Amino acid sequence: MKPFLFVTDLDDTLVYRTVGDDSALAELNQLLSQHRQEYGTKIVYATGRSPVLYKELQAQKNLLQPDALVLSVGTEIYLNGTDTPDSGWAEILSPGWNRETVLSITKKYRELVRQPDSEQRPFKVSFFLQEDFSAIVLPQLEAELQKNKLNVKLIYSSSIDLDIVPYSSDKGQAMQFLRQKWKFAAEQTVVCGDSGNDIALFAVGNERGIIVGNARKELLQWHNEHLADYRYLAKSFCAGGIIEGLKFFGLLE
Ligand code: GLC
Ligand code: MG
């Protein structure tokens, strides 16, 4: 068995966000920590959560200590359990990013409801946006941000969460940063997700992909339009679907 780079979203991918049966999680944790010990496999969590909300979940679900953390939809990378975001990554995101201008434009849209303060981050501005409004608001907002020469990306997930981040940033770019740093081949890298902010993980290259059985419609739609033999749609939900996919790719026995 060879080491692999394991990158997973948390909410509704590794763990159930609200209610659900996390029993497969214990089995997956056991398999992964053993693989890490024996072969040097690396574990990365890539989530939309801020440090505050990540710590909450970590305590609730007793998550394994990861080798790196990608927080705030890819805008922050934390290596080896440190509390300070990687400065090399911040340098890549800084050019052209102007938080204040983004805020002054978004203020004009009544449909955008600010998420809690903890989720507003140096390189991420986040709102709730009801799905009914999204088809009209998103293109308008995108055009207006572009007109102001703001080099940003809009990421809409789970029919409610809207994140505005630097264009050079998302979970996929952050994953590539770590993959190159640790020198894992795409064939020895696997990414797992369930919703819109995970599309970047699957779309950035030809890493192995696992879509859990409970995935959201925006990800399923993207998957059906971009079928690839290096991406697997699991039948089981959450951690159970991840185990299914790791076996499918022969990364786990
Ligand atoms: C997490 C974050 C939130 C973000 C969402 C989607 O729920 O807390 O700020 O909008 O992920 O990326
Ligand atoms: Mg998720």
Asked, colleague to colleague, whether 5-74+170-248 and 95-166 share their fold, the answer is no
Nearest CA to ligand 1 atom 4: 48
**What pLDDT is recorded for position 62?**
87
Contact 189, 4 (CB under 8 A): yes
Running along the chain, 253 residues long, what does each successive block of 10 average in pLDDT?
97 89 92 97 98 95 96 96 94 95 97 97 98 97 95 94 96 97 97 97 98 97 98 97 97 91
C-beta 157 within 6 A of ligand 1: yes
**What pLDDT is recorded for position 18?**
80
Closest ligand (CA of 117): 1
- Ligand 2 (ion): residues with CB under 5 Å are 9, 11-13, 194-195
**What pLDDT is recorded for position 164?**
98
CA 146, CA 162: separation in Å to the nearest integer?
17
Paired tokens of 195? 């919703």
Instruction: Tell me the DSSP string of 180-231.
Output: HHHT--GGGEEEEE-SGGGHHHHHSS--EEEE-TT--HHHHHHHHHS--TTE
**Atom nearest to 163 CA in ligand 1:** 10
Indicate the top mutation candidate among 9, 161, 171, 216 to test ligand 1's pocket, ranked by most ligand atoms within 8 A of CB: 161
**Atom nearest to 197 CA in ligand 1:** 12
**Atom nearest to 155 CA in ligand 1:** 12
CA of 225 to the centre of ligand 2 (A): 20
At 54 the three-state DSSP class reads: helix
CA of 194 to the centre of ligand 1 (A): 13
Q: What is the 8-class DSSP label of residue 63?
A: P
- Where are any strands of DSSP class E within the chain? 5-8, 42-46, 68-71, 76-79, 113-114, 125-128, 152-157, 161-166, 189-193, 208-211, 231-233
Q: Exposure pattern of 191-213 as b/e (b: 16+ CB <10 Å)?
A: bbbbbbbbbbbbebeebbbbbbe
Give domain limits for the chain: 5-74+170-248, 95-166
Closest ligand (CA of 156): 1
Is the Cα dihedral 171, 49, 228, 154 positive or negative? negative
**Atom nearest to 158 CA in ligand 1:** 6
**What pLDDT is recorded for position 253?**
84
- CATH 1.10.3720.10 describes domain 95-166: no
**What pLDDT is recorded for position 21?**
78
**Atom nearest to 119 CA in ligand 1:** 9
CA 14, CA 237: separation in Å to the nearest integer?
9
CA of 74 to the centre of ligand 1 (A): 11
Looking at domain 5-74+170-248, its CATH class is alpha beta
CA 249, CA 166: separation in Å to the nearest integer?
33
Displacement of CA 155 from its chain's centroid (Å): 11
